[in-house]
Amino acid sequence: MSGESFNPYRMAQQQFDGVAEQLGLDQATRNLLRVPDREMHFNIPIRMDDGSYQVFRGFRIQHNDARGPCKGGIRFHPQETVDTVRALSMWMTWKTAVVDIPLGGGKGGVICDPHNLSMREQEALCRGWVRKIVQYVGPERDVPAPDVMTSGQHMLWMLDEYEQLVGHKAPGFITGKPIGLGGSLGRTEATGFGVIYAVREALGEQGLRMEHTTASVQGFGNVAQHAIELLHSYGGKVLCVSSWDQKEQSAFCFRRKDGVDLKQLRSMTNSYGEISRAKAADAGYEVLPGDDWITQEVDVLIPAAMENQINRDTAPLISGSVKIIAEGANGPTTPPGDAIVHEKGIWLIPDFLANAGGVTCSYFEQVQSNQNYFWTRDEVISKLDTKMTDAYYAVSQMARRRNIPMRDAAYMIAIARVAEACKMRGWV
């Protein structure tokens, strides 16, 4: 990552404060919503494969549950910080509210690098994480899900530990479960597909067509790969992708002027979404520095990796050809980056709207788990498209009506819904 480093929690609070002012929220509501409701920080001691012990730091942060049980993923990341988890929990509250699903916001994490952990050690970490917070989570309290460097396998270990502790089956405790074990068809691709549904509608509003669209994508993990898949299926082209190189501790971009070949790139990518530089170069991809994805002459930019990527230093490098930025990642744009993007006249679809497909499908998974009846993939995908498209238009109409950025409009809709729920419950 280059550019100024921005504390994501301060950024989330700054964004909230601005909208609270515009909405004229009373002080008690502001005090309630600008900090998480409850935080759990805990140690997870693990016996490692070599017989030694290591202690990992885990978190679960519940921002708000006025509209329903908290909902949000769990990250395994070496640079995880409590402030990142706080910010992500807050964004989850706005995300579930903007797509109008009956859930609140939470987020979890463990400071660890799964690259250096065996599968047995990762299982122990998942089970240890659940043991520390079992009394504060559950289908009616707080429902975790996968996020960066966690998968369906991690979710199933967590579910199994939870069910053993509570003494009964509880498939609604967690989402992102594998198919056949309580998972929903369509969940894996939901976030990336949701990003492209929003892009499709934004292009349509500008009189542009998907089949003539070019894009550059930061990241090549779950969100990025499925966004590319759907964009390709609409006839668009992705000219450049980037990914992290664990050995070099740096990111690299992979460019092909006539468009990347998704299937081929997947075949040279590990389970963490890291593309092999040597294999990509052999296959004819130009290998470029990690920040180059942002300078590409394309119509659409999709940051789908980490926070703070479009910032004071990188935003000025965005090409004049870019019309739309769809934030697949959470918090990829800092406030100074946002201001530059706005000045350039680029239509930015904010993270908690653009990437809400994942939590929407998680909600569908919970509904299916609770009724123990599973829908076909087509049913799931079509319900997802409807929900994302409706949410997109609610935000874009508000943005146009008030002549404000999409991020502000999305915040206004979401914060007003949450504030109303808090008020009706008699909390403030």
- 3-state class (DSSP) for residue 347: strand
Nearer to ligand NAD, 216 or 218 (CB): 218
Among 85, 148, 326, 399, binds ligand NAD (CB under 6 A): 148
Nearer to ligand NAD, 171 or 358 (CB): 358
Rule CB under 6 A: which of 224-243 touch ligand NAD?
224, 242-243
DSSP 310: B
**Under the criterion CB under 6 A, does residue 328 sit at the interface with ligand NAD?**
yes
**Under the criterion CB under 6 A, does residue 143 sit at the interface with ligand NAD?**
no
State the pairing for strand pair 38-47/53-64.
antiparallel
Scanning 48-56, 62-70, 216-224, 393-401 for contacts with ligand NAD by CB under 6 A, the matching segment is 216-224
- 3-state class (DSSP) for residue 232: helix
* Contact indicator for 346, 323 with CB cutoff of 8 Å: yes
Quote the least distance from Cβ 154 to ligand NAD, whole Å.
Answer: 12
In angstroms, rounded to a whole number, what is the distance separating the alpha carbons of residues 269 and 256? Answer: 16
Q: Which of 173, 126, 130, 170 is nearest to 149 (CA)?
A: 126
**Distances from the Cα of 38 to the Cα of 61, 65, 91, 211, angstroms:** 6, 10, 15, 46
**Under the criterion CB under 6 A, does residue 358 sit at the interface with ligand NAD?**
yes
**Distances from the Cα of 44 to the Cα of 47, 58, 423, angstroms:** 10, 7, 37
Tokens of 85: 């988890």
Among 62, 222, 333, 334, binds ligand NAD (CB under 6 A): 222
- 3-state class (DSSP) for residue 35: coil
Quote the least distance from Cβ 217 to ligand NAD, whole Å.
Answer: 9
**Under the criterion CB under 6 A, does residue 221 sit at the interface with ligand NAD?**
yes
**Under the criterion CB under 6 A, does residue 296 sit at the interface with ligand NAD?**
no
Tokens of 242: 């980037």
**Under the criterion CB under 6 A, does residue 65 sit at the interface with ligand NAD?**
no
**Under the criterion CB under 6 A, does residue 244 sit at the interface with ligand NAD?**
yes
Catalytic residue annotation: 107
**Under the criterion CB under 6 A, does residue 306 sit at the interface with ligand NAD?**
yes
Residues in contact with ligand NAD by the rule CB under 6 A:
1, 147-149, 191, 218-224, 242-244, 251, 272-274, 290, 304-306, 328-330, 355, 358
